[in-house]
Amino acid sequence: MLSTSIIKTLLYRTQIRLASSSSSIDIADFIRGMSSAKKLKSESSTINKPRHVRMKERGRDPGLTSRINLQVISNGYVGTCKSLILSNDQTNYLFNCGEGTQRTLQEKNTIWETKFSKTKHIFVTKKSWDTMGGLLGLCISLKETYLNEITFHAPCDVIDLLKHWKGLEAFPNVTLEQHDYDKAEFKDDCFKINAIALRANNSISNTGNDLSQMKKFPEDLVYAYLCETHPFPGSLSAELCAFHGVPPSELRSRLKNGEDITLPDGRVILSKDVTLPGEPPVKVLILECPSLNYLDSIIKSDLNSHSYHTIVHLAPHSILNNETYRSWMKSIKTTHHLFLDETQKNVHIEAIYRYQTQLNYIDDGIFPLLSYHNSLKEELKLPESVDNITYGLTSTRIPIRPILGPDNSKLVVLQPQNYIDTLLENEEFKQTFTAAKQQLQAMHEIAKTGHSYPEIIFLGTGSACPSKPRNTSGILIHINDTNLFLLDCAEGTVGQIRHFYGDQSDDILSRIHFAYISHMHADHLGGLYGLIQQRRRAFENLGHKYEKLILLCPNKYIDVGEKQWNYFSNKHSFDDDVHVIFNRTLTNGLPSLTNIGGENTNEEKFLFQKFKSIGLHGVQTVLVEHIYDAHALVLRHIDGWSLAFSGDCKQSNDFIQAGQNVDVLIHEATFETGLEVYASQMRHCTMAQAIDVGRRMNAKYTILWHFSQRYAKIPFLSERKDEEDSDKKQTKRPDNVCISFDFMRIHLSDLPRACELVPVFESMFYDEWLNMKKRQTRREQEPDYFAKNTRMIESKRKFMSGRTSPSNSDKTQSTTKNNTSPRQ
């Protein structure tokens, strides 16, 4: 008699191919659950190294993998790109990496069993910012993991693009390679992958699909990727061996290796008799069709000579519904069609909506609901599956091994009432908010009557890498009805604009006439190319004549900008899109209109007048200590308001002087109070130092911004207002300091209330606040904490890996020209 477990295993192995019976899914789920429990256990007993690294270190081959999943990262809805991942136990194969991919990868419903640090291969389907805008950010983050080699697969030279960032020393520890498909297909332990060349009809030298015959990377070249798994051998069953009387000995090893054996009693045991059924090869096609011009090439290709498990269609909504495309689809043999259709509503990062709902409950003036909030909270209804078509959303998964059907069970639906109920379960919050509510409401009523420009929208408030609650640097200032001024533009800034403004986004993009980049770190400028492209598209969509963006930037940006424009765009040059003013030309502020002349070029004179035409009579940059050519900015408006923006920097006396008596100071506060030594080494400020700058500047209000992602939920201001210790005057928080969150909207008249809200924010994240407090107490009780705390030192070492020794930090800026870390 076979034991129940063998029967279950055989059932599992055979029935899963039927895929649709509920009992087989139950068994598969049960087994998956067991294996993930095992995984959790093994992870908890080791440091966070990925499995393949641990196995390599032990000199073991990770071997063939038993699980392969296809997962959608984002489907193109609201500022996301169309991106997906194939993953097995050891490796992620990422397909397309537009802006924000890295942030969405952090969503637990997206990654499921994948791990960010397993991303060893990045496949790009076409040369465009939509598919490549997040590459720099992702590669910088991957260098912080144990991964030391990334292989690109693309119809264009990816390394050439990344080389543009060489000045940022982005990849000191990572080897970047690109697989050459015109020489060979790609093969590893898990897949055999072929790139199928697709060309546009109107391409001048259409040489069909033969990669070796065509000029290397013609501009219209697009790759479809045909991924085929290796057959997976069945495993030796201990129970079947016992059933046939094979003792646990080297005989079993021989059977496992496929050898047939003879037992001492003369019986011959065939290997196949004691081996469970294996898995056949499975084919998955990732198919990009950017426009109808590619239909011919797709139809003429030999793509329909294969039979697939899944075809993923990366194409605009109009093509997915095109008759010719649909009839070609019907001619091809596949079990599933997976559509990434940008019109399908989708919550790609739930945390964005969760925190905004909770903050909106606290103050609906400063934290308005995001534009698509109401439509997303309705139950998401996917179009019915006809002709095996599944619409892929951020949580969609199709298991490839074991073979199962598409799974949308983890679809995220917004639950605003749940988010608020959770908030109200927090006793600390309830008490603090109830005590302050009446006063806050009264302040809100007064503030409403005083609303006028400027209106400040925080789009990104974290430093370095984006987290779920905080994107990286970006602040939008409404100067008046028709002119917006953008301060810094990290990767994902356009996505944040689309979340906030929804259908008005094009209108907003076309009104951003001024942008300022404080310094050459990726977390301050990684989204600028995307913003300018989307801005141009907005002008076209609205039928407006294009107006160049006036860009204040470091000198070095011009090299990066020009190369980036040349790389992606055939139509418009960098000069077609932007007017550039170098930050250093404004260190003495704008010349008075009568004095414009002398050293200034005609273009500069024209631009200075532009500032004055929107009422900005003071636009002054200040050289600050952070990296080479880093500047702070002070804006003064003819209506009487003024604003100072630090960018990233150490405390700066020059900035304090330039910003005297401003209405609002937005200052970086990367680290918590008490980490001054650390902050100084990284050329940043702590919260207390930022507050001190505001005090010495005599700023009416200080908004803290640019928090290390260790404070992603709530920055640690060292002590709560009700616990202030009079002995610690230097850390006492004044009443005119508030903290920023993504999607916070501030008018000057809102600032008194925003400062009163700080204790409410702290109570909202009370557990996080308590943990930070405990860490601070431990640090204070341990005078040589920094020397002892190896994690801190290790983390510092990683951050500094792009720099020379910390002892150089005291030298002047000119010596730190190449002394940069790519982010922060």
Told to check if 491 binds Zn ion by CB under 5 A, we report no
Residue range at the interface with Zn ion (CB under 5 A); choices 39-47, 78-86, 523-531, 598-606: 523-531
**Is-contact 88 57, C-beta < 8 A?**
no
Query: Please, which residue, 740 or 824, has the CB nearer to Zn ion?
Result: 824
> Can you say how many angstroms the Cα of residue 100 is from the centroid of all Cα atoms in its chain?
3
Q: Provide the 10 A C-beta neighbour count for residue 653.
A: 10
Report the nearest approach of Zn ion to the CB of residue 703 (Å). Answer: 16
Report the nearest approach of Zn ion to the CB of residue 463 (Å). Answer: 5
Which tokens in the block code for residue 507? 């209108």
> Residues 637-656: x/- map of binding to Zn ion (CB under 5 A)?
-----------x--------
751-755's contacts with Cβ under 8 Å and 24+ in sequence apart are: 751/664, 751/700, 751/701, 751/703, 752/443, 752/447, 753/363, 753/365, 753/366, 753/440, 753/443, 753/444, 753/447, 754/366, 754/701, 754/703, 755/701
> Residues 335-374: x/- map of binding to Zn ion (CB under 5 A)?
----------------------------------------
Query: Please, which residue, 222 or 666, has the CB nearer to Zn ion?
Result: 666
Report the nearest approach of Zn ion to the CB of residue 573 (Å). Answer: 28
Query: Please, which residue, 529 or 707, has the CB nearer to Zn ion?
Result: 707
Report the nearest approach of Zn ion to the CB of residue 473 (Å). Answer: 6
Residue range at the interface with Zn ion (CB under 5 A); choices 156-164, 312-320, 367-375, 461-469: 461-469
Query: Please, which residue, 95 or 707, has the CB nearer to Zn ion?
Result: 707
- Residue 293 burial (10 A CB sphere; 0-12, 13-18, 19+): middle
Report the nearest approach of Zn ion to the CB of residue 401 (Å). Answer: 42
Residue range at the interface with Zn ion (CB under 5 A); choices 262-270, 303-311, 411-419, 514-522: 514-522
What is the 8-class DSSP label of residue 379?
P
Q: DSSP letters of 317-378? A: HHHHT-HHHHHHHHTSEEEEEEEE-TTS---S-HHHHHHHHHHHHH-TTTSPPPTTHHHHHS
**Is-contact 743 457, C-beta < 8 A?**
yes
Bridge partners for 83 per DSSP? 74
State the Cα–Cα distance between residues 740 and 805, nearest whole angstrom.
Answer: 33
Told to check if 824 binds Zn ion by CB under 5 A, we report yes
Residue range at the interface with Zn ion (CB under 5 A); choices 340-348, 522-530, 709-717, 783-791: 522-530
Tell me which residues in 720-779 interact with Zn ion (CB under 5 A).
none
Report the nearest approach of Zn ion to the CB of residue 485 (Å). Answer: 19
Number of amino acids touching Zn ion (CB under 5 A): 5
3-state SS, residue 149: strand
H or E stretch covering 567: helix 557-568
Residue range at the interface with Zn ion (CB under 5 A); choices 370-378, 418-426, 458-466, 803-811: 458-466
Query: Please, which residue, 522 or 538, has the CB nearer to Zn ion?
Result: 522
Report the nearest approach of Zn ion to the CB of residue 627 (Å). Answer: 6
Report the nearest approach of Zn ion to the CB of residue 512 (Å). Answer: 21
Query: Please, which residue, 286 or 517, has the CB nearer to Zn ion?
Result: 517
Instruction: List C-alpha distances in Å: 480 to 456, 616, 638, 645.
Output: 11, 11, 12, 19
State the Cα–Cα distance between residues 556 and 683, nearest whole angstrom.
Answer: 20
Q: Which residues of 58-90 are buried (b: 16+ CB within 10 A; e: fewer)?
A: eeeebebbeebbbbbbbbbbbbbbbbbbbbbbb
Query: Please, which residue, 107 or 523, has the CB nearer to Zn ion?
Result: 523
Q: Which of 101, 390, 463, 569 binds Zn ion (CB under 5 A)?
A: 463
Query: Please, which residue, 478 or 521, has the CB nearer to Zn ion?
Result: 521
Instruction: List C-alpha distances in Å: 268 to 1, 117, 274, 663, 774.
Output: 20, 47, 12, 90, 68
H or E stretch covering 668: strand 664-668
Question: 184: Cβ–Cβ under 8 A, 6 or more apart, which residues?
Answer: none
Told to check if 521 binds Zn ion by CB under 5 A, we report yes
Q: Which of 89, 228, 350, 523 binds Zn ion (CB under 5 A)?
A: 523
Report the nearest approach of Zn ion to the CB of residue 584 (Å). Answer: 17
Residue range at the interface with Zn ion (CB under 5 A); choices 43-51, 60-68, 518-526, 721-729: 518-526
Report the nearest approach of Zn ion to the CB of residue 523 (Å). Answer: 4
User: For the chain, how far is it from start to end, CA to CA, in angstroms?
Assistant: 65
Residue range at the interface with Zn ion (CB under 5 A); choices 16-24, 315-323, 457-465, 718-726: 457-465
Residue range at the interface with Zn ion (CB under 5 A); choices 69-77, 148-156, 333-341, 816-824: 816-824
Closest CA to 487 of 534, 519, 530: 519
Report the nearest approach of Zn ion to the CB of residue 519 (Å). Answer: 6
State the Cα–Cα distance between residues 153 and 164, nearest whole angstrom.
Answer: 18
Query: Please, which residue, 279 or 491, has the CB nearer to Zn ion?
Result: 491
Residues at the interface with Zn ion (CB under 5 A): 463, 521, 523, 648, 824
